[in-house]
């Protein structure tokens, strides 16, 4: 069993930066990949980025060049720079296991002046 907790959300001005953290605990040896997703009000959830155990990273088109994912075993980080209003949403950490996936409760990111 794996549990996932995200931290680091908040309110930031446009152009600012924010760093999110995701910590997985429990049977972390079964993790294949970890990823960040976000959902804005009235919109579908979209991929922010995903990192595999081998370190391969895939970013969503809307965050390329601004967001950076890093990972240390069962801890994953999302460094968000040059934030825009359209980055506002609930950011969730998803952990891909061998046969299923586990999600955290999400953390709110609001970009506003």
Residue 98: pLDDT band (50, 70, 90) is: confident
DSSP 21-65: EEEEEESGGGEEEEEEEEE-TTS--EEEEEEETT--EEE-GGGTT
Q: What is the largest CA-CA distance in the chain?
A: 42
Mean pLDDT in residue range 53-60: 96
86: left (phi over 0), alpha (psi -120 to 50) or beta: alpha
Average pLDDT of the chain is: 96
């Amino acid at each position: 069993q794996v549990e996932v907790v995200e931290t680091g959300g908040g309110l930031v001005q446009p152009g600012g930066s924010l760093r999110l953290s995701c910590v997985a605990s429990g049977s972390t040896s079964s993790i294949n990949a970890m990823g960040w997703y976000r959902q804005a009000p009235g919109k579908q959830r979209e991929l922010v980025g995903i990192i595999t155990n081998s370190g391969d990273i895939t970013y969503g088109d809307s965050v390329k060049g601004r967001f950076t994912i890093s990972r240390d075993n069962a801890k994953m980080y999302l460094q968000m720079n040059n934030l825009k209003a359209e980055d506002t949403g609930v950011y969730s950490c998803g952990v891909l296991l061998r046969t299923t996936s586990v999600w955290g409760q999400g953390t709110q990111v609001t970009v506003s002046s």
